[in-house]
A and B are shown apart, each in its own frame.
Chain A
Amino acid sequence: MTEERLEMLMVKVTDDAATAAEREELMAYIADKPELQQELSMHEGLKAVTDGWVARLEVDLAQDRYNQQSLTIWWTNLGLTLFLGGLAVLMGGGMVELMADPSVPMWLKVGYGGMGAGFVVLMAAVIRWRMNTAKHDKYTEVQR
């Protein structure tokens, strides 16, 4: 048997793509060659491991399918809008109450007012930065 044919048969048998005749031919050839039997066994063991990887990657396909469902997107966006909207109302409302309360000392109003206004200005700055850089950020396409 030539080296090329032996290599081809080894690959086909390892990949479980060999015909019965090809498998028989290979087994007959390596019957008295323990080093080739060991090599075939090593290839089959390696394939079993890598096949296991492929099977485990099914979870990625399931994840992609789930993420693309419109119900998933709608549900998540609704939850986030309610959560962040509520947070904004609590923070904004709290600030208005604080400013309107005559019992709160002026230094506290100035301090909290400055902090709140600073937060809004900085938030606007980072949103502007993100909007400017996001269109050049190709890395957001990477999924895993």
Chain B
Amino acid sequence: MSQDLVRASADLANRPDGGMMVITTFEAPPGMRIKEVKGLVRGNTIRARNLGFDIMAGLKSLVGGELSEYTKLMGESREQALDRMRAEAVARGANAVIGLQITTSMIMQGSAEILCYGTAVVLEPDS
């Protein structure tokens, strides 16, 4: 992440609204309209757990059930990718990301890659 995005992320967290940003899979949320399009924003990450958790998950796969070690891994990756996307949107002066998509792919065994992307826009109330 570039220094600009780190700064944008910090600015986002320190805003009076607590960093609230509309992120939606809709084109535009009900009651709002797109004032300005800021372009494509995306965030991605690849994370892994440690060897101990991989061993535990491997053993658990023998008996079945949820592999909570990897559930946590996916959750961490999802949140980090979303934060990076959000920071990029803030850096572009957007207040919302619409048409959100989240995808995953396999880079390395035992790791989770999450890519999320959407269109950064400035929304305003639909009068």
Chain A residues with CB under 8 Å of chain B are: 59, 63, 67, 76, 80, 83-84, 139-140, 142-144
Contact = CB atoms under 8 A, between A and B. Distances in A.
Contacts of A139: 47, 76-77, 79-80
Interface of B: 47, 51-52, 55-56, 66, 68, 71-72, 75-80
16 contacts: A63-B66, A63-B68, A67-B68, A76-B52, A80-B52, A80-B55, A83-B55, A84-B51, A84-B52, A139-B47, A139-B79, A142-B72, A142-B76, A144-B71, A144-B72, A144-B75
B72 A143 contact: yes
B123 to A, nearest CB: 27
A142 B52 contact: no
Contact of B56 (A63, A76, A143): A76
Contacts of A83: 55
B75 A142 contact: yes
Contacts of B78: 142
Nearest to B83: A139
Nearest to B77: A139
Nearest to A59: B66
A76 B59 CA distance: 12
B65 to A, nearest CB: 9
B76 to A, nearest CB: 4
A67 B60 CA distance: 14
